[in-house]
């Protein structure tokens, strides 16, 4: 770039500081040798001119000081074995039930643990005060929440900053990725430094999850499969309690009954996780508690599926203006997203990446660790292990869900979601919820899963804004009648947020009422008849009863379920049920020849045989006790990814990061 002297201010005018600075600093402009002699400034001359002006201005304004570049010195924080008894792990970041239960599970593993609670507006303000500018809302909330807690320890409990740094550690999520999640850890450290806690340890599983960490002699936090299993148990228990609570509460007859029961259930599960007693027995005991809640399922409640950015849609506090509570206070039923579904998404991501990269000409060490899985069979083995992990998670979830009475809960089919979303949002785009947000909206509309879909996008969130504001507009056009509401959480605009939700909720409420009326018309029964039937058949009024899915709303589903039974006697109903079961069996038997033929075809398929060989290899490893050795790194990666959005490949964090 060049600029002529004529374009610059007149150097003889003293009122122009730019030239005073230039002259004072001995600018290259001050004399002919510094110019090209053609009256035109070179880029270097112009740069020098600007620098001289900046220096002069700094001097004039009294801000001339040495610039210090901050280097993160806590890239590899450690907790030594000797510290284990003294160090307290601080945790936070998921739902209230899960944070509470993870605390119990880790205490049960012998750690000192403290749940620092759900981030609130005070945390947001502290996050903004100490954080870098331009971050997304969850960053401010979560970073601020930690700093707030440490300030409380210092100013209210009288601990010195040194004691806090020595005796507390924060465990949190970390990742590399296209959104700001990858920078959380640096944000934590920057804010902690500025708040007077420089050197405070923020532990990321992704960085600390190497095998040596898990088995070394001087490791204070043993990231063994036992450790992760304890966390996953707590997460799934939390999911089950949350799903039951949100399913029952909108229909409770006594306000507060569900919350009371949920608290008791959480305490029972906490005790079991802490003491290491049978968690299934504890879950079974919760069933009696939930079953005691009196409900009226004939209320037409608009079902609202909450989707969006993971943290914003999951948190239950100021971070989303207590969205779930607000929706229920307005008469809605919340269809929340479970952490187990997020785990499945993580498994799906790894499986897809492995599949997509399988045929790269050179093994790719940068992303999915294929360098560890060279050779076709090894990659196939990895795929089989991922399938097994998915299957295990689905079965495991149902094993946790059924004892307390969470019947008929279907975890999303990740392949189906990916397929329906792919035309609008590439499956390869990551960050936030990726294509899941788009897929879920389509599934909700097409499958009549909810009356309304509400997408929560945090202020400043790049991926979520692109999806909610951009792609979802196309989906709502393609699927007319969709009630889709995208809301942004900035932390200080609750009134706007609530009024926007109310506008859409009004439509959803009408839709729920119309759907129920339509159910009465379609089935030819009246409300009075259904009410009388329910009074005579209490099994249908249990809070744990789940009607087959025929409509979005629970009330309409119940009408569809009981209407055919209303004019039958109990004996006729039993006969009908038996006939249905019988016809189901006959239909199944009729398919046997076809099944046998397909099974034979499949058995001859080389791909299937190879997959089977992999499955058998895995089973053999399991039987021989070699599973931990062979699959430990993968399990750890998945488990870490699940709870902490783990990616082992965060090599960039090993380099010092300047953040000022
Ligand atoms: S998905 Fe959005 S809100 Fe969440 S960490 Fe990334 S940028 Fe922030």
Query: What pLDDT was estimated at residue 65?
Result: 65
State the pLDDT at residue 376: 53
Three-state SS at 334? strand
SS (H, E, C) 528-552: HHHHHHHHHCHHHHCCCCCCCCCCC
Residue 7 CB-half CA count within 13 A:
7
Gap from CA of 432 to ligand 1 centroid (Å): 6
User: How many whole angstroms separate alpha carbon 318 and alpha carbon 119?
Assistant: 7
pLDDT band at 187 (very low <50, low <70, confident <90, very high): confident
Residues 6+ apart with CB under 8 A from 238: 94, 95, 97, 98, 100, 101, 102, 339
Of the pLDDT bands very low, low, confident and very high (cuts 50, 70, 90), residue 60 is confident
**What pLDDT score was predicted for residue 481?**
82
Task: State the average pLDDT over residues 245-253.
Answer: 97
Q: Mutation test of ligand 1: which of 139, 433, 436, 486 has the most ligand atoms closer than 8 Å to its C-beta?
A: 139
Of 93, 138, 456, 491, best ligand 1 pocket probe by most atoms within 8 Å of the beta carbon: 138
Which residues fall within 8 angstroms of residue 327, CB to CB, at 6 or more apart? 304, 306, 334, 454, 501, 505
Task: Answer whether residue 477 shows pLDDT above 60.
Answer: yes
In the predicted model, what is the mean pLDDT of residues 536-561? 94
Q: pLDDT tier at 133 (50, 70, 90 boundaries)?
A: confident
Which pLDDT value is given to residue 643? 40
Q: What pLDDT does 379 receive?
A: 75
CB neighbour class for 75 (10 Å; exposed up to 12, middle 13-18, buried from 19): middle
Structure tokens at 449: 């899963």
Query: DSSP readout, 273-299?
Result: HHHT--HHHHHHHHHHHHHT--B-TTS
Structure confidence by residue, pLDDT tens digits, 318-363: 999 999 999 999 999 999 999 999 889 989 988 888 888 777 655 5
Residue 114: its H or E element: strand 112-115
Q: How do residues 617-640 score in pLDDT, each as one tens digit?
A: 555 555 455 555 555 555 555 454
Dihedral of alpha carbons 427, 431, 436, 441, sign: negative
Alpha carbon of 427 to ligand 1 centroid (Å): 18
Q: Measured between alpha carbons, how far is 489 from 501 in angstroms, rounded to an integer?
A: 12
Within 10 angstroms of residue 212's Cβ, the number of other Cβ atoms is 8
Indicate the DSSP class of residue 317: S
Average pLDDT over residues 588-596: 52
> How many Å apart are CA 164 and CA 107, to the nearest integer?
20
First to last CA, the chain: 29
Does 616 have pLDDT greater than 90?
Answer: no
**Where would I find the beta strands (DSSP E) of 168-327?**
168-172, 201-204, 303-308
pLDDT recorded at residue 635: 52
Bigger pLDDT: 659 vs 195: 195
Helix axes 606-624, 376-401, angle to 10 degrees: 70
Q: Where are the beta strands (DSSP E) in 330-379?
A: 333-335
Q: Is the CB of 309 under 6 A from ligand 1?
A: yes
- Cα separation, 486 vs 506, whole angstroms: 15
Report, in this order, helix, strand and coil percent for the chain, each rounded to 5.
60, 5, 30
Name the band, by pLDDT with cuts 50, 70 and 90, for residue 172: confident
CA of 297 to the centre of ligand 1 (A): 37
Whether residue 432 has its Cβ less than 6 Å from ligand 1? yes
Q: What distance in angstroms lies between residue 463's CA and the mean position of ligand 1's atoms?
A: 7
Q: Is 138 in the pocket of ligand 1 (CB under 6 A)?
A: yes
Q: Which residue has the higher pLDDT, 69 or 306?
A: 306
Distance CA 580, CA 585 (A): 9
Q: Does ligand 1 come within 6 angstroms of the Cβ of 182?
A: no
Q: Does residue 187 line the site of ligand 1, with CB under 6 A?
A: no
Ligand 1 center to 125 CA (angstroms): 18
Point out the ligand 1 atom lying closest to the alpha carbon of residue 432.
1
R_g of the chain, CA atoms, integer Å: 30
How far is the CA of 309 from the CAs of 365, 463, 651, in angstroms? 29, 8, 25
Find out whether 321 and 578 touch, Cβ atoms under 8 Å.
no
**What integer best gives the mean pLDDT of the chain?**
80
Pocket probe mutation, ligand 1, options 93, 124, 137, 311, max atoms within 8 Å of Cβ: 311
Pairing, β 112-115 against β 201-204: unpaired
Nearest atom, ligand 1, residue 177 CA: 6
Name the closest-CA residue to atom 6, ligand 1. 179
Residue 181 Cβ contacting ligand 1 at under 6 Å:
yes
**pLDDT interval class at 251 (50, 70, 90):** very high
Distance 97 CA to ligand 1 centre (A): 23
Cβ–ligand 1 distance for 308 under 6 Å, the answer no
Atom number in ligand 1 closest to CA 184: 5
Question: Distance from the CA of 175 to the center of ligand 1, in angstroms?
Answer: 11
Whether the per-residue pLDDT at 209 is higher than 80: the answer is no
| Residue whose CA is at the smallest distance from ligand 1 atom 3 | 461
pLDDT at residue 154 above 90? yes
pLDDT given at position 55: 86
Give 488 Cα–ligand 1 centroid separation in angstroms: 12
Q: Are 204 and 74 in contact (CB under 8 A)?
A: no
d(CA 216, CA 222): 8
The best mutation among 458, 489, 490 to test binding of ligand 1, ranked by most ligand atoms within 8 Å of the C-beta, falls on 458
- Closest residue by Cα to atom 4, ligand 1, is 432
Confirm or reject: Cβ of 464 under 6 Å from ligand 1. yes
Higher pLDDT, 398 or 59: 398
Q: How far apart are CA 216 and CA 95, in angstroms?
A: 32
What does DSSP say about strands 333-335 and 303-308: parallel, antiparallel, or unpaired?
parallel
- At residue 524 the predicted structure's pLDDT band, cuts being 50, 70 and 90, is very high
> Cα(500) to centroid of ligand 1, in Å?
22
69-83, 127-141, 179-193: which is most confident = 127-141
Q: What are phi and psi of 305, to 5 degrees?
A: -85, 120
Q: What separation in Å is there between the alpha carbon of 493 and the centre of ligand 1?
A: 19
Q: In residues, how long is the chain? A: 660
Using the mean position of ligand 1's atoms as its centre, give its distance from the Cα of residue 433 in Å. Answer: 9
* Residue corresponding to tokens 């009196």: 294
Confidence at 14, pLDDT banded by 50, 70, 90:
very low
List beta partners, residue 3.
41
pLDDT of residue 380: 77
Q: Whose CA is nearest to atom 5 of ligand 1?
A: 181
In angstroms, the CA 201 to CA 168 distance is 8
Q: For residues 586 and 484, is the Cβ–Cβ distance under 8 A?
A: no
């Amino acid at each position: 770039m060049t600029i002529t002297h004529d374009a610059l201010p007149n150097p003889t005018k003293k009122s122009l500081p730019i030239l005073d600075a230039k002259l004072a600093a001995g600018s290259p402009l001050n004399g002919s040798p510094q110019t090209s002699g053609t009256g035109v400034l070179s880029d270097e001359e112009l740069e020098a001119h600007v620098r001289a002006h900046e220096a002069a201005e700094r001097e004039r304004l009294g801000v001339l000081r040495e610039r210090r570049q901050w280097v993160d010195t806590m890239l590899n924080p450690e907790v030594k074995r000797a510290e284990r008894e003294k160090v307290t792990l601080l945790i936070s970041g998921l739902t209230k039930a899960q944070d509470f239960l993870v605390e119990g599970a880790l205490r049960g593993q012998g750690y000192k643990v403290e749940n620092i609670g759900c981030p609130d507006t005070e945390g947001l303000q502290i996050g903004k005060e100490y954080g870098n500018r331009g971050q997304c809302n969850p960053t401010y909330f979560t970073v601020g929440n930690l700093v707030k807690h440490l300030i409380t320890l210092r100013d209210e409990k009288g601990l010195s900053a040194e004691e806090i740094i020595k005796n507390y550690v924060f465990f949190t999520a970390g990742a590399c990725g296209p959104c700001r999640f990858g920078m959380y850890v640096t944000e934590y450290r920057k804010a902690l430094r500025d708040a007077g806690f420089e050197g405070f340890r923020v532990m990321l599983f992704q960085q600390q999850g190497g095998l040596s960490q898990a088995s070394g002699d001087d490791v204070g936090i043993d990231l063994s499969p036992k450790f992760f299993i304890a966390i996953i148990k707590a997460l799934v228990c939390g999911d089950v309690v949350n799903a039951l609570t949100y399913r029952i509460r909108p229909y409770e007859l006594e306000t507060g009954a569900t919350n009371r029961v949920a608290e008791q259930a959480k305490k029972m599960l906490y005790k079991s996780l802490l003491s290491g007693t049978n968690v299934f027995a504890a879950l079974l005991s919760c069933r009696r508690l939930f079953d005691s809640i009196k409900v009226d399922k004939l209320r037409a409640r608009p079902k609202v599926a909450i989707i969006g950015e993971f943290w914003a849609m999951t948190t239950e506090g100021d971070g989303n203006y207590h969205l779930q509570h607000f929706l229920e206070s307005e008469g809605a039923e919340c269809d929340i997203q479970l952490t187990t579904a997020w785990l499945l998404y993580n498994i799906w991501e790894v499986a897809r990446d492995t599949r997509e990269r399988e045929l790269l000409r050179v093994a790719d060490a940068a992303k999915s660790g294929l360098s560890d899985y060279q050779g076709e069979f090894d990659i196939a083995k990895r795929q089989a292990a991922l399938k097994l992990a998915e299957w295990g998670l689905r079965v495991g979830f149902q094993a946790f869900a059924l004892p307390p009475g969470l019947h008929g809960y279907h975890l999303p089919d990740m392949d189906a979601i990916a397929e329906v979303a792919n035309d609008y949002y590439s499956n390869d785009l990551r960050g936030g919820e990726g294509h899941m947000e788009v897929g879920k909206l389509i599934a909700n509309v097409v499958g009549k899963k909810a009356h309304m879909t509400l997408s929560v996008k945090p202020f400043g969130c790049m991926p979520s804004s692109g999806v909610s504001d951009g792609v979802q507009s196309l989906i709502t056009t393609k699927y007319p009648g969709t009630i889709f509401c995208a809301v942004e959480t900035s932390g200080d605009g609750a009134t706007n947020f609530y009024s926007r939700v109310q506008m859409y909720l009004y439509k959803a409420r009408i839709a729920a009422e119309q759907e129920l009326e339509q159910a009465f018309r379609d089935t030819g029964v009246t409300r009075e008849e259904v009410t009388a039937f329910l009074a005579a058949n209490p099994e249908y009024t249990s809070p744990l009863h789940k009607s087959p899915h025929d409509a979005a709303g629970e009330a309409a589903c119940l009408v569809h379920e009981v209407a055919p039974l209303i004019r039958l006697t109990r004996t006729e109903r039993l006969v009908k049920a038996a006939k249905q079961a019988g016809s189901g069996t006959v239909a199944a038997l009729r398919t046997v020849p076809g099944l046998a033929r397909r099974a034979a075809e499949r058995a001859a398929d080389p791909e299937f045989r190879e997959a089977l060989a992999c499955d058998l290899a895995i089973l053999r490893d399991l039987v021989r006790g070699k599973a931990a050795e062979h699959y430990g790194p993968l399990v750890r990666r998945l488990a870490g990814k699940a709870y902490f959005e783990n990616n082992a490949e965060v090599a960039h964090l090993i380099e010092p990061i300047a953040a000022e």
